[in-house]
Chain A
Amino acid sequence: MRADGEVILEVRDLVKHYPLTQGILFKRQVGAVQAVSGISFDLRRGETLGIVGESGCGKSTVAKMLVNLERPTSGQIRYKGEDITKLSGRALKAVRRNIQMVFQDPYTSLNPRMTVGDIIGEPFEIHPEVAPKGSRRQKVRDLLDVVGLNPEYINRYPHQFSGGQRQRIGIARGLALRPEVIVADEPVSALDVSVQAQVVNLLERLQDEFDLSYVFIAHDLSVVRHISDRVAVMYLGRLAEVGTDAQIYEHPTHPYTQALLSAVPVPDPRARTRRERILLAGDVPSPAHPPSGCRFRTRCWKAQVKCAEVVPPLEVPDWFREGGGGSTHESACHFAEERDVLPPTEADPG
């Protein structure tokens, strides 16, 4: 675990509302989709923070705000102490060098009309100060090599590659400017199982090699556990629970985390009889009309009147704090309580 590095990214009370408008020429606002409603977290150097949640929970919007593709409605994202959400022009361009993104879909994230060399070399054209013109071609070849592709492929077009190879090209482009932070939005979910492992391993190797910090966003809880040092669970625009991977997976305290974990099928048929399933009722409410108080209360089996009235803060529960040890394990539930939902691991450790 590398949770002791300096904090390089601080996110504070991040909010993103998309206005819902009516009218054609003269639009008026009739409501808002509350995609992200006030989330805060820190990212340390060399650390991987996993953000998990189901579709529509706002995790991709967070990713876009981190790399400045969306402007937050309010809140701050501080990179090494400086708020980057209001930057523009030259200052913004400078910050972009340090925070890069890897996209989900390897088919739409590469321009089909550009060669691989042009795609990976584009960062150098945008930031000419990074690499003198004569050295760029060689740098692109080096990057191809780093991500495990044959440097001879430099003149090929994206459609000549498979999904996994395209994702490597996308990663090479993200690495070109030697960023410190990489925001990866579902980087392996479009890939086949066997290829997924190759890309996950590549991301881990690159992290060590270049001392990268990752924000790894995914819906696949297994992949997130594998790659993350810390995990944040999102539900309907808010963080439900934040902790180390062991805290979240082995000692979940938020009912949503517990339900989520219990629903994931485990590749072990013996688990069928050995685990309990928490089946949630109904669907996720619309982010245009989120429930009052705790957003999870409409599907929660523990919900009380208080849950509808008071928004539960994300904090280390009192009983937990007193117990010591778990001082970093935060949970946004009025009735947070530990419950083990994973199937017991191999009784015989052999």
Chain B
Amino acid sequence: MEHQEAQPVLLDVRDLQVEFRTRDGVAKAVNGVSYSVGEGETLAVLGESGSGKSVTAQAIMGILDSPPGHITGGRVFFRGEDLLTMPAETRRRVRGAKLAMVFQDALSSLNPVLSVGAQLSEMFEVHEGMTRKDSRAKAVQLMDRVRIPAARERVGDYPHQFSGGMRQRIMIAMAIALEPDLIIADEPTTALDVTVQAQVMDLLAELQREYNMGLILITHDLGVVADVADKIAVMYAGRIVETAPVHDLYAAPAHPYTRGLLDSIPRLDRKGQQLYAIKGLPPNLMAIPPGCPFNPRCPRAQDICRTDRPPLFAVAPGRTSACHFWKDTLDES
């Protein structure tokens, strides 16, 4: 999938900022994140817990818990319109029909007291004003589409009667029901076993191709990213530290954090020596270090890193890195 610039931009996030105001202080969860996704494109947002990758998605979807979460700056353009400033009613309609989300935990995202058929057909009744009968038929069709065996018989079953993988398929069915332009999938396969994970990722990729949807895949799994993404945004402490086309990033990362992550994962396909471990811990979001937020853990840190916050430097077309020493990092790879 080598469509880089040709695709029209679907979602354009610019300088998004989110903070959580708690009784212990203000946690700056997202500190100026910008990224964009085109039609049919897969953007992987990679980061560890606390990097702000999920909070960014929640802010885009308008499902941020507020309070304590507050969007304090930035814009989110969806097909040129700013989601953050549009009236609530318009936004809700866009969210249902054009933007959809798949969560990690399908069991808690589905209503346990409604059959999956009822939950699927509700989408059509509410958004498209279909009759009960038509919507039921559509529900069965959708369940078939996400390859749930014996869909016709199982349409009346309740969420707990399905296995984890099947539930995640139902979540995907709900997400694609109204043929959205963009799906945001937040760790969609993390809770699943590897064999099931492969099935679900394949399904998601196939549906994406079929409907030419944009996909934002939020994950911490470098393996999953390598498998499906077109381009990657690596997040750390609420900031994007590197963006790159997938092949470039794995071949030669331009940020020491990305480098560290790649070196710290054990490999299935070869027996390595001792793992590289990034020293220290991710920063407290209530007290992010000055300068580069990664500087206390960075093997390359100099004085400038402790005082000057690095902007996103253009490394190559379609590539950026927020490291003062991106060139050295890149050369070393």
Contact = CB atoms under 8 A, between A and B. Distances in A.
Q: Do chains A and B touch in the complex (CB under 8 A)?
A: yes
Interface of A: 54-55, 162, 164-165, 192-198, 200-201, 204, 219, 221-223, 225-227, 245-246, 249, 259-272, 277, 279-280, 282-284, 342-343, 345
Given A226-B266, A263-B194, A272-B227, 10 more contacts: A197-B264, A201-B275, A225-B266, A265-B198, A267-B262, A267-B265, A268-B250, A282-B149, A343-B269, A345-B269
A269 B250 contact: yes
Contact of B223 (A198, A261, A265, A284): A265
B275 A197 contact: yes
20 contacts: A165-B281, A192-B282, A193-B261, A197-B264, A197-B275, A197-B278, A201-B277, A219-B194, A223-B266, A225-B271, A226-B267, A226-B275, A245-B271, A259-B195, A260-B194, A265-B226, A270-B247, A271-B227, A283-B165, A342-B268
B202 interface: yes
A267 B223 contact: yes
Contacts of A265: 197-198, 201, 221, 223-224, 226-227
Contacts of B220: 192-193
A22 to B, nearest CB: 20
B7 interface: no
Contacts of A193: 48, 220, 222, 261, 264-265
Nearest to B149: A282
Contacts of A225: 266-268, 271
Nearest to B275: A197
Nearest to A265: B223
Contact of A162 (B163, B194, B270, B281): B281
B281 A283 contact: no
**Which 7 A/B pairs are nearest by Cβ-Cβ distance?**
A265-B223, A226-B266, A197-B264, A54-B193, A263-B198, A267-B222, A197-B277
B276 interface: yes
Interface of B: 48-49, 149, 163, 165-166, 193-199, 201-202, 220-227, 229, 246-247, 250, 260-262, 264-272, 274-279, 281-282
Given A192-B49, A269-B247, A283-B165, A204 B274 contact: yes
A260 B193 CA distance: 9
Contact of A194 (B48, B166, B224, B267): B48
Given A201-B277, A272-B227, A261 B268 contact: yes
Contacts of B166: 283
A261 B165 CA distance: 18
Contacts of A223: 266
Contacts of B277: 194, 197-198, 201
Given A265-B227, A272-B227, A277-B198, A222 B275 contact: no
Contacts of A282: 149
Contact of A221 (B49, B268, B270, B279): B268
B247 A264 contact: no
A246 B269 CA distance: 10
A201 B268 contact: no
Contacts of B246: 269
B268 A263 contact: no
Contacts of A249: 268-269, 271
Contact of A201 (B196, B197, B201, B274): B274
A263 B112 CA distance: 30
A269 B268 contact: no
B226 A54 contact: no
A256 to B, nearest CB: 9
Contacts of A164: 281
Contacts of B279: 198
Contacts of B201: 265
Contact of A264 (B49, B261, B268, B278): B268
Given A194-B260, A197-B275, A222 B265 contact: yes
A272 B227 CA distance: 6
A263 B196 CA distance: 9
Contacts of B265: 193, 196-197, 222, 267
Nearest to B263: A197
Nearest to A224: B266
A275 to B, nearest CB: 9
A264 to B, nearest CB: 5
Contacts of B202: 277, 279
A260 B223 CA distance: 14
Nearest to B262: A267
A180 B143 CA distance: 52
Contact of B198 (A272, A279, A284): A279
Given A193-B220, A225-B268, A246-B271, A266 B261 contact: no
A183 B40 CA distance: 46
A263 B199 CA distance: 9
Contacts of B165: 283
Contact of B275 (A55, A165, A200, A268): A200
